[in-house]
Structure 1
Amino acid sequence: MSDYSSPPAGYVLRRNGTCTATEKTCDHPWGPWYNCCPEGSYCSDDRMICCQTKSGCSAVVKEDPHCANNATWDLYYNGGSYFCCLNGKQGFVEKFPGNRGDGIGCADGELDNASQSLLQVIATGTGSASPTPSETNPDIPSPTESESNSSSSSNVGAIAGGVVGGCAGVVLITALVWFMMRRRKKKVASLTSPNALTSPNASTPAEDFKGGYRAELDNNPVRAELSGSPSTMAHELPVNTSI
């Protein structure tokens, strides 16, 4: 027994232009628009529902409205009639002048004229949120798995390279700071060492060193007397005779 409550039993796809080679054409209601069913299904009497058998399934599908392909088709409703559009398109209704009724279709983007208005989506397909290139344009090939893997590998390689480069930069800066601090410590130690100020091998006097001390004169206990002049005679003080 066929299950009419699940695909490929469901409402037709409204397509601009002819149905694809993997679809069944059910109707050409107006302008460039066609009603399409999945391959291997049958069109209902009203040509708005796709069924699994020729016996029909309209009553069952109308009780549980869904698209004949509910993976990549979205369901819309207008004035008592359901229809489907591909993911990424937008269902609309066009008002014909006079009493000619309405026309429904699936817009790619902005609407063409003021007589058209967008419809609210009833149910979104359970598969991809947007149609594949082969669904919208058969001449555009779908991305291959190898291209996806290549893009993923490139992203991983770029991230790894950035991490390695950052680590190398941190190591280089740390080594430079350590070298400068070590060199500064050596210089300060050489200037404050007592041997550096009093070493007999020093090429400059002790007083020339910054922060050093000046050498004192030799401690000689013998003091030279002033030299006497041969032309000068020494006189004794006169004797005070009054005492």
Structure 2
Amino acid sequence: MSLDQSGGYPLRRNNSCSAGESVCGRTWGTFHACCPGNFQCLDSNSTKIKNFICCPDQLNCTDVLAEHPTCANTSWDLYNSTGYFCCEPKHAGFSVEGTFSVGCLDPGAARNLSYNALIPSSTGAPSTTPTSTSASTPTSSLDAESSTSVHSSRNNTGAIAGGVVGGVAGAAALIAALYFLIRYRKRQQPQQQSQSLTPPSSLPGYALEKDASQPKEIDDRLMVAELSESGGHSGNVRYELPTAS
């Protein structure tokens, strides 16, 4: 329940006021005017308003209500017939035909044929008092958002970690492939060089042909000797024929 601390108009209740409410008195028939607790009831004998009003702390709030009519409880609905009065939400305000009497019907109550339904001058605001259900709802919502945020954060972390591991593995595989390729090429180069330096004579089926026209050295055993002074000669010495005179 939200009270208007500047004062306001009271409820019209059938039979009696509720416990804790200030009873302003019976208005007509079985209807009474009721103010919130700790509010005083003022009637037309002590105010300029020809009706009951509710003022806080023994103060006269007549001038305030004359300029700004409102209910003593901001959750109530304000009605006006021959004067202002208030009804609780879902209660229907009415006036009695041919009189100045007004009242509030309980939900589902039978309507008398002499009752004229009234339209609220202003409707009350919903009660701002938090309930256990409404108080727990934001907490549950925050918990759900927190859980979703943590789950999303974990998923993002896992995806990033997976991407990093995959990238490292791919780089390692590439480096290993390059390493084995370089080693293979280094092993092939010496073999190719050794094959290119092998002389043809060492190849199978290859034989050097002897050139018959190649000049030969004179046998060491054949020697040209000069004529000895003694006129002797050796069996192997050749003489030149004398020339004709």
TM-score, normalised with respect to structure 1: 0.51
Determine which structure has the larger strand proportion and give its number. 1
1:176 aligns to what? 162
Alpha-carbon offset, residue 176 of structure 1: 0.8
SS class of match (1:179): helix
1:96-138 per-residue CA deviation (whole Å, 9 max, x = no partner) reads: 6xx68885426659x979986451324x66xxx22478xxxxx
Does the C-alpha gap of structure 1 residues 100 and 81 become closer, same or farther in structure 2, counting only changes over 3 Å? closer
1:121 aligns to what? 121
> What letter corresponds to residue 121 of structure 2 in structure 1?
V
Give matches, 1:13-92, under 5 Å.
Answer: 13-15=11-13, 18-25=16-23, 26-27=25-26, 29=28, 33-39=31-37, 41-42=40-41, 44=43, 48-50=51-53, 63-64=66-67, 66-67=69-70, 69-78=72-81, 80-86=82-88, 88-89=89-90, 91-92=92-93
Alpha-carbon offset, residue 36 of structure 1: 1.6
Aligned equivalents of 2:100 and 2:41: distance in 1? 27
2:195 is aligned with 1:218: yes
1:12 aligns to what? 10
> What letter corresponds to residue 197 of structure 1 in structure 2?
Y
2:126 is aligned with 1:130: yes
Contact 2:36 2:73 in 1 (8 A): no
Structure (1 or 2) with the larger CA radius of gyration: 2
1:230 aligns to what? none
Does the C-alpha gap of structure 1 residues 168 and 215 become closer, same or farther in structure 2, counting only changes over 3 Å? farther
Aligned equivalents of 1:215 and 1:28: distance in 2? 125
Aligned equivalents of 1:113 and 1:184: distance in 2? 89
1:105 aligns to what? 104
2:226 aligns to what? none
1:197 aligns to what? 184
> What letter corresponds to residue 224 of structure 1 in structure 2?
P
Aligned equivalents of 1:132 and 1:175: distance in 2? 49
Does the C-alpha gap of structure 1 residues 17 and 173 become closer, same or farther in structure 2, counting only changes over 3 Å? farther
Aligned equivalents of 1:154 and 1:58: distance in 2? 44
1:52-100 per-residue CA deviation (whole Å, 9 max, x = no partner) reads: 6xxxx8986874463461544342212x2211123x446543676xx68
2:148 aligns to what? 162
Contact 1:35 1:48 in 2 (8 A): no
Contact 1:44 1:58 in 2 (8 A): no
Aligned equivalents of 1:70 and 1:152: distance in 2? 27
SS class of match (2:195): coil
1:195-242 per-residue CA deviation (whole Å, 9 max, x = no partner) reads: 442576xxxxx8xxxxxxx97993442343389xxxxxxxxxxxxxxx
Aligned equivalents of 1:116 and 1:216: distance in 2? 121
Alpha-carbon offset, residue 23 of structure 1: 1.9
Contact 1:91 1:121 in 2 (8 A): no
Contact 2:92 2:107 in 1 (8 A): no
2:94 is aligned with 1:93: yes
Aligned equivalents of 1:191 and 1:65: distance in 2? 89
